[in-house]
Structure 1
Amino acid sequence: MTEGLDADVDGMDEVAERRDELAARVRTHAGQIARELAVLQGGDYGQESFDTDGGSWTVKYEAGDVQYLRFDPKSGSETYVVSSKQPPEPGPLETAMADYGNFVAAYNEYVRSFDGLLADVPDEFPEVESTAELVAERDRIVQRIREVGTAMAGELYRYDGEYGTYSTTVSGTRWELKWDGDAVSYLRVGGSDGTYLLSQYGPPSAPEVRRLADDVGAFVEAFNEHVDDLEADLSQVSLGEE
């Protein structure tokens, strides 16, 4: 009754070792294909599929290395020949490797299909116009606006305190100047989503400066009227008979 217990058990070490060796070689080889695909397609990650007589192969790559190589045979279950998990079982691996050469041939044919693709693409282009003169003029105008805004900020600081905002409507659009001390923080036109003629960041675009510059004078005039009104109000304050 115990004769079976005395029988030798065949080990799988040799098969597993051969499987692991083959899987490692495939990973290295498929890794070359993955790197070439990444270079060709110009991205850090992606995938490409190749059809053969035996089925379909899909290579997925990331950061120039193979993430997985999947074989989907025309009959039977798909096999991850290369993956980030465990290696494939020996039987499915053997089936896939019987078609691996066809996969490489399909990849090579895919690469060769791009031969001459860029041969007629021009590499001579028109000269690019410089924006230097336009930008210099834009900056000059913005600097003049900043000088005016700074002068207004200084007057507001002297009269209204350390910081605050002054706003008015010019041509139906809200203009708002914010000051901090005797410096202008921003001059914004058009509300919270409007254009910052002055700010702590970069200047506005040249078209925006052109669109709004003509109204800067009206904004200053409105401010001056505001100051005149304040002076008139103060002149009416009486401290009693002298």
Structure 2
Amino acid sequence: MTDWPDVDVADADAVAEQRDEVVAAVTDHAGRVAYQLARLQGGDYGQQTFTTERGEWTVKYEAGDLEYLRFDPNSGSETYVVSTKQPPEPEPLATALADYEAFVAAFNAHVDSLDGVLDDVSTDFPSVEPTDGVVAQRDRVLGRIREICDVIAGELQRYEGGDYGTFATRIEGTRWELKWDQDGTSYLRAGGSGGVYVLSQYEPPSAADIREYAPAFSGFVAAYNDHVEELESDLRTVSVDGTN
């Protein structure tokens, strides 16, 4: 049996308890710094570094709460004074906290440097022009185009049958396609698969696109009428008594 030396083992609980009390106090105080920094930067999360004579302090926050406070001395290893992981060792903590007051002073100086920076910024902005007139004109043009397309869609559905279909043609080299379904016009697109949706179930085209393609819509309607004429001409040549 081994005879152990008759030496008492030091109790670390008292040191750890004191360390935890200090970290809790720093967390509370630096948390107020993090909150003010979050307000100043205007974001839910971020970080900023402040320089002192002895090193650099980095404050990181998330949702306005302190995420960590790190001290990186000019010489030696960095110390996470506050973190979501493990608490710091007592000796590095003491070294860091010897510079904590300088950190707070650096933060205060940063805030003071911004005081009055917006004093000369004018809020006398130009008036904003309403879009009511443009929107009304857009709706007027597109409403008429949709009205005509719905008529075409209805006629195509009567002729072709089925629940949906398309009619496509070229106007001055640009491909136009009308897709219809049971509810009428699904879309009217100019320019192929990567073109402009003059009519769709989503947002309307820009005013510039409407100005470009609306005049050519008459050509699309004329092409549809020619298509109907060709169909009627073909049917007129059909005889049920065996003669042409």
Partner of 2:75: 75
Partner of 1:219: 220
Cα distance in structure 1, aligned partners of 2:56 and 2:154 = 75
**2:205 counterpart SS class:** coil
Cα distance in structure 2, aligned partners of 1:118 and 1:181 = 59
Q: Which amino acid aligns with 2:26?
A: V
User: How many equivalent residue pairs?
Assistant: 241
Give deviations 1:72-111, integer Å, cap 9, x for gaps: 0111100000111000000100000000000000000011
**2:234 counterpart SS class:** helix
**2:99 counterpart SS class:** helix
Partner of 2:181: 180
**1:185 counterpart SS class:** strand
Q: Which moved more, 1:48-57 or 1:180-189?
A: 180-189
Partner of 2:166: 165
Partner of 1:124: 124
Partner of 2:191: 190
Cα distance in structure 2, aligned partners of 1:210 and 1:3 = 97
TM-score, structure 1 length as denominator? 0.96
Partner of 2:34: 34
Partner of 1:54: 54
Would the aligned equivalents of 1:55 and 1:71 in 2 still touch at CA under 8 Å? yes
Deviation at 1:116, TM superposition (A): 0.9
Decide whether aligned partners of structure 1 residues 229 and 2 sit closer, same or farther in structure 2, where only a CA change above 3 A counts: same
Q: Which moved more, 1:50-59 or 1:190-199?
A: 190-199
Give deviations 1:130-185, integer Å, cap 9, x for gaps: 11011011101100000000010011101112211111111211110001026110
**1:115 counterpart SS class:** coil
Decide whether aligned partners of structure 1 residues 182 and 40 sit closer, same or farther in structure 2, where only a CA change above 3 A counts: closer
Deviation at 1:129, TM superposition (A): 0.6
Would the aligned equivalents of 1:48 and 1:60 in 2 still touch at CA under 8 Å? yes
**1:214 counterpart SS class:** coil
Give deviations 1:23-71, integer Å, cap 9, x for gaps: 1111111111111111111111111111111111111111111111110
Deviation at 1:236, TM superposition (A): 1.6
**1:86 counterpart SS class:** coil
Identify unmatched segments of 5+ residues in structure 1: none
**1:237 counterpart SS class:** coil
**1:145 counterpart SS class:** helix
Deviation at 1:7, TM superposition (A): 2.4
Partner of 1:112: 112
Decide whether aligned partners of structure 1 residues 3 and 208 sit closer, same or farther in structure 2, where only a CA change above 3 A counts: closer
Matched, 1:150 2:150: yes
Q: Which amino acid aligns with 2:218?
A: G
Partner of 1:137: 137
Q: Which amino acid aligns with 1:168?
A: T
**2:98 counterpart SS class:** helix
Cα distance in structure 2, aligned partners of 1:197 and 1:95 = 70
Give me the CA root mean square deviation.
1.3
Partner of 1:9: 9
TM-score, structure 2 length as denominator? 0.95
Identify unmatched segments of 5+ residues in structure 2: none
Partner of 1:232: 233
Deviation at 1:240, TM superposition (A): 2.3
Cα distance in structure 2, aligned partners of 1:77 and 1:38 = 27
Q: Which moved more, 1:96-105 or 1:22-31?
A: 22-31
Deviation at 1:238, TM superposition (A): 2.2
Would the aligned equivalents of 1:157 and 1:182 in 2 still touch at CA under 8 Å? no
